[in-house]
Amino acid sequence: MIWRRLGLRAFTSVTSNNKLFKISKASSSVEDIEDIRNGQAEAKRLHWEPSKWMELLDGVRAMRAKKDAPVDTMGCHMCADPKAEPKERRFQILISLLLSAQTKDEVNFAACGRLRDHGFIPTKLKDTPEEDIARLIYPVGFYKTKAKNLKAIAEICYERYGSDIPHSIEELCKLPGIGKREP
């Protein structure tokens, strides 16, 4: 933990008979251990807040009120063709999410536009050579790997799900290039 590397101690407060004791997580010492052992003390976490955090939060809310950031106009939810069938839209959003990792919204949006012009559906993409897909999505980050994964996802969605996407998180996470974000 970073607090240990900085030489800080994390504390939990313990109250007993209106007396406040601090237990250090680093040393586990307490002033009156008998009260705790006998169950007469009640543990409480100390509440810490950064100074002026509410003012900062209000500032962020004010900045985001206009919804004029690139993610608002070119985010993954905007990459799908609004006139497409629902299952095609789901596929397009899934692919735009795949492409979005390590890629700016503007670049991802443009790549999805090129895919839309080509045919942004599993039946078309499964038959498209990987090199052509890579050319369509370039300069998306890791475009060669994503092209390989995109083609595989199109094949899987076509063969197993009737050109739709999997209906559960577990099945989605089995698709190549799709998974839970690691901390």
| 75 and 24 fall within a common domain | no
| DSSP character at residue 46 | P
| 90 and 164 fall within a common domain | yes
Q: Is residue 51 part of a domain?
A: no
| 39 and 77 fall within a common domain | no
| 100 and 169 fall within a common domain | yes
For residue 92, give the nearest of 126, 121, 135, 118 by alpha carbon.
Answer: 121
pLDDT tens figures, 20-41: 544 444 444 444 555 555 555 5
Q: Is residue 59 part of a domain?
A: no
Q: Is residue 81 part of a domain?
A: yes
| 142 and 74 fall within a common domain | yes
* For residues 120-139, average pLDDT: 98
Res. 113: pLDDT tops 50: yes
169: domain CATH number?
Answer: 1.10.340.30
- Residue pair 151/126 in contact (Cβ under 8 Å)? The answer is yes
Report the share of the chain in percent with pLDDT over 90. Answer: 67
pTM (predicted TM-score): 0.68
Q: Is residue 102 part of a domain?
A: yes
| 104 and 20 fall within a common domain | no
Res. 70: pLDDT tops 80: yes
Q: Is residue 63 part of a domain?
A: no
Q: Is residue 79 part of a domain?
A: yes
- Residue pair 136/168 in contact (Cβ under 8 Å)? The answer is no
| 75 and 143 fall within a common domain | yes
CA 40 centroid distance within chain? 43
pLDDT tens figures, 41-50: 555 556 678 8
- Residue pair 46/37 in contact (Cβ under 8 Å)? The answer is no
Res. 15: pLDDT tops 80: no
| 13 and 75 fall within a common domain | no
Number of domains within the chain:
2
Q: CA geometry: angle at 162 spanning 158 and 167, to 5°?
A: 100
| 98 and 133 fall within a common domain | yes
Q: Is residue 106 part of a domain?
A: yes
Q: Is residue 162 part of a domain?
A: yes
User: Which residues, in sequence order, are bridge partners of residue 142?
Assistant: none
pLDDT of residue 42: 56
* For residues 89-96, average pLDDT: 98
Domain that holds residue 35: 2-45
For residue 123 the two structure tokens come to 């039946």
